[in-house]
Structure 1
């Protein structure tokens, strides 16, 4: 099994596109964008959610280049996203400080991904509440490497992943890993967080009684502040189940930089099969 995965990874590496190449591959055709052959980012029969959301974000900012910084997003994973995509972006409202942009991704004339992006200018502060700070960090440089990406998750070959907590053992239904994109060239910080923020499986996997497929249904995220920096591209990601029953799990997604400062938080609904 390890040998087959390695061979698959080597073949995938030969055809895979970097995220910057995906963005460069978007071609404008009137009121929409087209992307053909988004190789290397598949997760089973659909594209990894961070990559499809990244494409949607790029379509939004390419269509409306004068938008203020990203503040939040609400993303719906509607159907399987293939390697050939049509993307559309529409301004829902452009206010004095906040703009809402809707994006939709289509494959074979079917709507597969829809998102609402909230962009907003900074305003004079009226009070403050700093982002949460972690103090019990295992540095990514000393953390155990996570090896052997499953053959159905080829997108993991585009990333370095290391364990931020010991493997196995008892504990809450949560997963925490250090994650870094292998090729970050040309990415703006917001695009990088979108691309990497959905990397981990749901924390509910630790509570599953038997193996079975899972599928993200949506992703709601909020950026915590304007300063998005970290050391050597490493970000600490966590997925934690808040409630799991009836084939669904509510998950909280959190992302910290190497200083332990939280920079993004989200909620996600996950379908659990089997």
Structure 2
């Protein structure tokens, strides 16, 4: 399998960057959405040196990211402590992903509050592997999944709720924003817990907020909890939280997913 670090190799071209995504990182015939997001963030980091930490990111998956990929970056606005950047990723059929990225340095503040305690679950070493084979997209074989609670995909559950331990299979993977994004989108959309058989799904938009300056060391096992608040009319709205194994919050995300059931 192609290592994640190899896929993040970008070639500088006249109008931005070019990327090649091998078949083992595809979801059907298109690039896996989490990888498209990771490529956008990686390109911004290379284009603009000295950026503050990535605080928040919004992605619109407008079309298929297939064939040779081209990435264009631009600074939208730069202030004293923050930089807003726009990134467009193009496939052979046109615009595939549009990203809005907010990079912002930490500032002194009199306020401090956090309500992001992880759920109590067994450790990954005693949880059963899941999504290790069968009819899963090619890219999922780059990740390990252990079920820590909730329900499994395609289990016919009445409640769309996951709790997984997840990690990159590459060893080691640095805890960069790009690697965190690739990991955060690896689990199937939570609405698939309600499915009785595999059926197409497609993420339309994805918003990710990072929980502080946490990009240090390697990216080991992380705990993911995801819940769909509303599944109706062919769309699902889900919220996801991810923690490191020591309980440190990594990110929060929300997603709009088209479900074809």
What TM-score, normalized by structure 2, do the two folds share? 0.90
Asked whether the equivalents of residues 229 and 257 of structure 1 are also in contact (C-alpha less than 8 Å), the reply is no
Asked whether the equivalents of residues 39 and 83 of structure 1 are also in contact (C-alpha less than 8 Å), the reply is no
- Of the candidates 61, 72, 92, which is equivalent to residue 77 of structure 1? 61
Asked whether the equivalents of residues 131 and 224 of structure 1 are also in contact (C-alpha less than 8 Å), the reply is no
Deviation at 1:249, TM superposition (A): 0.8
Q: Output the CA distance in 1 between the equivalents of 2:122 and 2:128.
A: 10
Q: How does 1:172-183 map to 2 (within 5 A)?
A: 172-183=159-170
Normalized per residue, which structure has more strand? 2
Q: Output the CA distance in 1 between the equivalents of 2:199 and 2:130.
A: 21
Aligned residues: 258
Q: Secondary structure at the match of 2:98?
A: strand
Q: Secondary structure at the match of 1:268?
A: strand
Asked whether the equivalents of residues 41 and 177 of structure 2 are also in contact (C-alpha less than 8 Å), the reply is no
1:163 aligned residue: 147
Q: Give the direction of change, closer, same or farther, for the CA distance of 1:76–1:181 in structure 2 (3 Å limit).
A: same
Q: Give the direction of change, closer, same or farther, for the CA distance of 1:230–1:64 in structure 2 (3 Å limit).
A: closer
Asked whether the equivalents of residues 76 and 86 of structure 2 are also in contact (C-alpha less than 8 Å), the reply is yes
- In structure 2, runs of 5+ residues without a counterpart are none
Matched, 1:132 2:98: no
Deviation at 1:150, TM superposition (A): 4.0
Q: Output the CA distance in 1 between the equivalents of 2:124 and 2:14.
A: 45
2:6 aligned residue: 21
Q: Output the CA distance in 1 between the equivalents of 2:217 and 2:195.
A: 33
Asked whether the equivalents of residues 132 and 141 of structure 2 are also in contact (C-alpha less than 8 Å), the reply is no
1:10 aligned residue: none
Q: How does 1:142-161 map to 2 (within 5 A)?
A: 142-161=126-145
Deviation at 1:36, TM superposition (A): 2.7
Q: Output the CA distance in 2 between the equivalents of 1:186 and 1:178.
A: 16
Q: Give the direction of change, closer, same or farther, for the CA distance of 1:113–1:71 in structure 2 (3 Å limit).
A: same
Matched, 1:48 2:32: yes
Q: Give the direction of change, closer, same or farther, for the CA distance of 1:188–1:46 in structure 2 (3 Å limit).
A: same
1:265 aligned residue: 252
Q: Give the direction of change, closer, same or farther, for the CA distance of 1:152–1:162 in structure 2 (3 Å limit).
A: closer
Cα shift readout 1:95-152 (whole Å, capped 9, x = no counterpart) = 1101011111111150000100100011002211125112512101111112533445
Q: Output the CA distance in 1 between the equivalents of 2:77 and 2:105.
A: 14
Q: Output the CA distance in 2 between the equivalents of 1:98 and 1:113.
A: 23
Q: Output the CA distance in 2 between the equivalents of 1:36 and 1:122.
A: 34
Q: How does 1:98-117 map to 2 (within 5 A)?
A: 98-108=82-92, 110-117=94-101
- In structure 1, runs of 5+ residues without a counterpart are 1-12
Q: Secondary structure at the match of 1:164?
A: strand
Q: Output the CA distance in 2 between the equivalents of 1:37 and 1:128.
A: 42
Q: Output the CA distance in 2 between the equivalents of 1:227 and 1:101.
A: 21
Q: Output the CA distance in 1 between the equivalents of 2:69 and 2:49.
A: 21
